[in-house]
Amino acid sequence: MSDNNLRILTELLAAQQSGAPVVLATIIKARGSVPRHSGSKMLVFGDGRISGSVGGGEMESRVVKEALLALQDGRTRVLPYSLVEPNRGDPGVCGGEVEIYLEPYAPPATLFVIGCGHVGQAVAELGHFLGYRIVVTDDRDALATPEVIPNADLHLPGSFADALAQNPITANTYIVMVTRNVLVDRDIVPLLIHSPARYIGMMGSDRRWAETKRLLIEDGLSSEDLARIQAPIGLEIEAETPEEIAVSIMAEIIKLRRTQPLRRTS
């Protein structure tokens, strides 16, 4: 393996570990005169930055655009290019042909459950069943534990600020706030509102949300800031038990995940 490709794969691993969306572009076929040959690799990050090269010029520009689309739909694709006649739309005049394989690597879909009471436990269990990476936190240390929530991937008891430092939020994080009262929400929301989280939902009645919103605006947040919070959380299915409420919450998250493309990070 070339030093350049080793560097590219090292950067890919680092992006995965940090939760940054990235696409690996690899030339899988090259015929005739081409600027790069089979095996050449390039990374395309969610903000359009690149590392490495698959040939430069117009062709590479097209690859970047396709890579950003691949990040949105999560699908691999093969891009065939002829580098012969620009007048008919070819992205070059080298005289050869290439095929480039795009592999999108989105950050893992993470369910970040804040509050490990009965509903939080049910949401974490259902989210695990559905294949999400599960992170749970609660300032009541006895609740955010493997004994209470055995199927969580990460247990973060203690302050929410500490939990956030240990588990940075990505564009593929779904936050479920099922806390015990308005005052807890008041402390936590300012730490979340400008995060890249794809979804922030808050449990409670319309009246509780109105009071929480009033306090947060009093603290300096705007109505526009708070508009991204889904409250009350979940689809309206007349849910009553913690398990039914968990179904309504996860149904709302699934609907969002399947109908709206993953946002790019900047």
* Residue of higher predicted confidence among 40 and 73: 40
> Taking the model in full, what pTM does it have?
0.71
The band of 84, judged by pLDDT with boundaries at 50, 70 and 90, is low
Q: What is the H or E stretch that residue 58 is in?
A: helix 57-73
For 103-120, how does the pLDDT look when each residue is reduced to its tens digit (9 = 90+)? 998 877 899 999 999 999
Lowest-pLDDT range of 79-88, 170-179, 204-213 = 79-88
**Is the per-residue pLDDT at 238 higher than 80?**
yes
* Residue of higher predicted confidence among 238 and 35: 238
Amino acid code (one letter) for 25? A
For 190-207, how does the pLDDT look when each residue is reduced to its tens digit (9 = 90+)? 999 999 899 999 998 899
The band of 148, judged by pLDDT with boundaries at 50, 70 and 90, is very high
The torsion angle over the Cα atoms of residues 210, 216, 222 and 228, rounded to 10 degrees, is -70
DSSP code for 228: T
Domains of the chain: residue spans and CATH: 3-105 (no CATH), 110-259 (3.40.50.720)
Residues 92 and 59 sit within 8 Å (Cβ to Cβ) = yes
pLDDT for residue 90: 43
* Residue of higher predicted confidence among 107 and 46: 46
What is the rounded average pLDDT of the residues 249-264?
83
- Closest CA relative to residue 188, chosen from 113, 109, 249, 247: 113
The band of 82, judged by pLDDT with boundaries at 50, 70 and 90, is confident
